[in-house]
Amino acid sequence: MTSNELVELAVQALDDKRAENIVVLDVQGISLVADYFMICHGNSEKQVEAIAREVKDRAQEKEYPVKRLEGLEQSRWVLIDLGDVIVHIFHKDDRMYYNLEKLWGDAPTLNIESMLT
C-alpha cells in the first residue's frame, strides 16, 4: 500500500467516525519521521477512542501493520504510527493547546475533498 493509499484509507476512517477538522500535512523533505502527518479531533474521549480504533481496524483489515498506537488509555491525544503516515487524534481542547498545525506550518496541506465519499 502506498503512502497516498494509506492517507486515503485513514481519511475515510476518520470521516466515518465524524472526526472534525481533518488536516493532512505533507512533511516529505521536512520531517524524517514520516511523509504525512494527519491531524483531527473529536469532542469527547469516547469519540477520540472510536476514531482511533476505526483507523487501526481499517489498516489491519488491509493487512497494513500499525507500528505503534499511544494514548488510547486517556484518549486525549492518540498517536497512530502507520509508518509513512502518522495520525494524531486529539480531544478538541488539547488540539488547540498543542497546535501541531502551527509547529509544522511550513508543510503544505493536502486537499482531502476527493478522498471523502
100 lies in a domain? yes
Amino acid in the structure at residue 23: V
Average confidence score pLDDT of the chain:
92
pLDDT at 117: 65
**What is the model's pLDDT at position 17?**
96
The DSSP code for 115 is G
Query: Is 103 part of a structural domain of the chain?
Result: yes
Give every CB contact of residue 77 below 8 A, 6+ residues apart in sequence.
71, 88, 89, 90, 91, 94, 98
* Residue position matching grid coordinates 488509555: 73
State the residue for C-alpha cell 524524517.
Answer: 32
Mean pLDDT, residues 85-103 taken together = 92
Answer whether residue 23 is part of any domain: yes
Please tell me the total count of domains within the chain: 1
Mean pLDDT within 61-80: 94
Q: How far apart are CA 94 and CA 44, in angstroms?
A: 11
Q: Residue 24 sits in a domain of what CATH number?
A: 3.30.460.10
Residue 15 belongs to what domain range? Answer: 3-112
For the entire predicted model, the pTM comes to 0.93
Structural domain includes residue 117: no
